[in-house]
Structure 1
């Protein structure tokens, strides 16, 4: 039996991954251009956080673009529930959720060895970056209430197939960023005397590279599935 090939879903996935990799590439190019990586932990002197923010926002816009037709298959009740998740109250809830996640990441950084009585700005920048790579895309896509449901492993009933595709891709981005930031901590205690070993530089770079690896894995998975369907059709 020939598997059904969803061309629109595949295009969405590939464009999504391309945006993710382009965002990471722009960050790395900017860091190479500045050469001095000591500024990475400074909130007002680093463009890494704004670049990632714009990249994640563009991926949500992409999901909206591909999902504009699917909104028509929702029932009236589902549309009303979806609209209710983007009221002023829910938007404030989404902001609060991101703020709490940033505090949680900051607490995790301290647990894993970040200075307790210093480097406040550096810890905040790293925590904010982690929030942008993990929680923010879902909040931008589904609102605060929908994102909270996803955090508790419950899919909102108004989620379309296109939005579900985006959520699955967000998981790769989030998992890669978390593992990359954790792996970046390995080089911190090594006595190499390098300037890039200073906290939180290796963690920020690790989060970006980890996110890139997660998206590369997602791209490989999509291309493999596409090639498999193509070969099946060719044999048929």
Structure 2
């Protein structure tokens, strides 16, 4: 029996057993246990480049001058970027050698819709819910509840959710045990889980650190809510993306790949 058939997912009930399902790392087959340094690095660098363009260069209104209009454009573009990046990741994990080997574009699109279409639908709804939760958390930490800054808070929450909630939502959907093991238990095991975990944690920490400078009496334009939090989240996202690459490259999975190549 192949590894694909051995893996049990959260959505599959146990047959012939009343015991609880054991949730395993996200891996459809052996290929998700492998780390491909060049493809993973290119995907990560592409995502970081596009995210930077979406936040600092493409919007006609600059973040420091008009955060509302800037984040309106940024979040709209970031949705497309995240969808594109997750499709590329899916193509990387589609085959055991790490590359797409579909015989035609039509077959590839059919497989994409069949295997990932529902995931993207779930991910969008979960991301919107995550934005709502970020909005509530920001208010609890002192963000304006009823004022002209409410839109600022919502756009910050949506930006954070697109960076931190959308990727795991595509991978985990609404399977609570996966979310719990990776984030509550701090126990990412497979390559996709590690890439998601470190990036998500550092993005949230970066946004939190960005909030610490708001009450300081420096009178700088970037201290206006939520500019420093957005910048902090962006920096945390960059740091986490690079950190996850380093951890996976020099961890056991990356070492195994290097041994096979040399």
- For normalisation by structure 2, the TM-score amounts to 0.64
- 1:115-154 CA-to-partner distances (Å, cap 9, x unmatched) read 1222111111011011111111233345x334x4432327
- 8 Å CA contact 2:204–2:233 kept in 1: the answer is yes
Correspondence for 2:206: 180
- 8 Å CA contact 1:177–1:206 kept in 2: the answer is yes
Correspondence for 1:151: 179
Correspondence for 1:131: 161
Q: 2:48 aligns with which of 8, 21, 26?
A: 21
Higher relative contact order by CA 8 Å / sep ≥ 6: 1 or 2? 1
Q: Distance in 2 between matches of 1:145 and 1:108?
A: 21
1:111 aligns with 2:137: no
Specify which structure has the higher proportion of helix: 1
Q: Distance in 1 between matches of 2:211 and 2:93?
A: 39
Distance 1:98 1:35, change over 3 A: closer
**For this pair of structures, how many residues does the alignment match?**
208
- For normalisation by structure 1, the TM-score amounts to 0.71
1:62 aligns with 2:62: no
Distance 1:101 1:7, change over 3 A: closer
- 1:63-121 CA-to-partner distances (Å, cap 9, x unmatched) read 211122259xxxxxxxxxxx69855xx76654442222111111110111101222111
Distance 1:228 1:198, change over 3 A: same
Correspondence for 2:3: none
Q: Cα offset for 1:13?
A: 2.3
Unaligned runs of 5+ in 2: 1-32, 101-113, 183-188
What do you get for the CA RMSD once the two structures are aligned?
3.8
Q: 2:228 aligns with which of 190, 193, 202?
A: 202
Unaligned runs of 5+ in 1: 1-5, 72-82, 155-160
- 8 Å CA contact 2:59–2:74 kept in 1: the answer is no
Q: 1:41 aligns with which of 68, 73, 77?
A: 68
Distance 1:166 1:181, change over 3 A: same
